[in-house]
Structure 1
């Protein structure tokens, strides 16, 4: 019995996706190949690794144990290969991402990528989801990480991001009428927020708008407005409003698009690191927002 890197990579992809079909798309093999490899792996180990559910798979206790070791083994494997064969690769990767996640998650992703490919230049562009998708389809981005309303053609779902209401720790703008809100310019968060408030017949006004997270949060921290934010936000000086304060907001689908015209290893590696980071995120934020 051998735990080869290819089999371990398939196992990790299946474990993170919770679905053999999505895992197959990530690693560019067929769904039947994923299923066959995982069945063979379970037979070789003599232990069940997955519970087969109606809409996917879920790791067993044995699967959780193997996942921890598989990630370590793959990391060592990739570092060994990089140190021997790939550190001198040069090139450019154009990465677009919504600003919501860059401060919290991308330092670790980029550090890990730089250790493997120190000479690859990464251009990181932050913008709203609609702009990023247009740039990707026009060939101006190699990778695109955005918030979507649902499943999109060609996109890989990384996680669902619940939206929450945030306010200042120093003021209570949520008690004012009309309700002052701070929102992004022309993005799905704004559309959802306005629709939810209108449906609940809550009077509101757009007090501040900005194309950036920092711009919206400036108004919130000043106590001038409340704002919708992803639950994984990790910014001090904010207060998460109790669920019964304002109407519940929907969840965004965090989606990644990868240019299939490029087959190079650095691009695939960066996409893999982003996938692993977002699939390992908790379902709700654990940042320093205070209740």
Structure 2
């Protein structure tokens, strides 16, 4: 049944799901609100399922809509890749992408592999540094795209997901019981480090910086060896780690908004294509597309998947 669904219906469905309503979705797909409503109705008739629950002026995805959404994203992404490969198979050029080390390690391999399949002659330069260093580099024109944790930048970029921040410790050691508690953190300027140390100071919990590195591998190694506790994104939890809870003396940490920033001077088709690949890649690799209500559940799921 899915193979017979028109792509334009799926595009409208995803637009409504992302926008949270018909009005904003209509702007996104350049159609009238009435046309959007009719397309959603047609898609629901094709599937024989209600995809949205209407609550006055507000709508939300139904259980069937939640099931369809990731499949619709994959179908649209595959459609775009096929079109790009056939329409522009010989596209060449250079695109410069910046991302923090933890995002680069977890998300970029699949994204860049798919991008390379579609555009084998495009050169991609990847720069891994903290968000606080990448955004100024973008402003100086040294990068075309930057994936960054929300830092209050004047350029908010495009929100492509949310990353819950958790306290990670070894499941086989009791380093978290030490006073002061040893921390493994990214280098100065890292948003996660700033949030974590502020949270501990707020509850007057003593800590010391035991390990500092720009590499997520080094942070994970310190956790796995039972040498330190680390404030890291839920998707960076290493094997054998567990998440510390409030009752153990570790306060809840914020959820970072993951934003994609673009150099306004980078107007090439190459940058356009990588922008869409990065956006869809983050959405398709188990990162939350809205702020998750249950961080502990997400953490447990991530531990099982590593």
1:257 equivalent to 2:272? Answer no
Mapping of residues 190-269 of structure 1, within 5 Å:
190-245=193-248, 246-269=250-273
Partner of residue 110, structure 2 = 108
* Stretch of structure 1 that moved more, 180-189 or 144-153: 144-153
* Stretch of structure 1 that moved more, 64-73 or 214-223: 64-73
Shift of 1:19: 6.1
Counterparts of 2:25 and 2:111, CA distance in 1: 20
SS in 2 for 1:278: helix
Counterparts of 2:172 and 2:225, CA distance in 1: 8
Partner of residue 183, structure 1 = 185
* Stretch of structure 1 that moved more, 70-79 or 95-104: 70-79
Partner of residue 70, structure 1 = 72
* Stretch of structure 1 that moved more, 266-275 or 225-234: 266-275
Shift of 1:124: 1.2
Counterpart pick for 2:126 among 124, 127, 137: 124
Partner of residue 139, structure 1 = 141
Counterparts of 2:171 and 2:57, CA distance in 1: 41
Counterparts of 1:69 and 1:78, CA distance in 2: 14
Counterparts of 1:20 and 1:150, CA distance in 2: 29
Counterparts of 2:67 and 2:304, CA distance in 1: 32
Partner of residue 283, structure 2 = 279
Counterparts of 2:80 and 2:102, CA distance in 1: 29
Shift of 1:222: 2.5
| Structure 1 residue ranges without an equivalent (≥5) | none
Counterparts of 2:97 and 2:234, CA distance in 1: 23
| Structure 2 residue ranges without an equivalent (≥5) | 293-297
SS in 1 for 2:114: helix
Shift of 1:181: 1.0
- Which structure has the highest helix share of the two? 2
Counterpart pick for 2:37 among 19, 36, 39: 39
Shift of 1:214: 1.9
Counterparts of 2:12 and 2:197, CA distance in 1: 42
- The CA deviation string for residues 113-154 of structure 1, in whole angstroms up to 9 with x for no partner, is 111111111111111011111111221111111111568634
- The CA deviation string for residues 251-280 of structure 1, in whole angstroms up to 9 with x for no partner, is 111111123433444323322232223334
- The CA deviation string for residues 52-80 of structure 1, in whole angstroms up to 9 with x for no partner, is 67997522345446545633542443343
State the superposition RMSD in angstroms.
Answer: 3.2
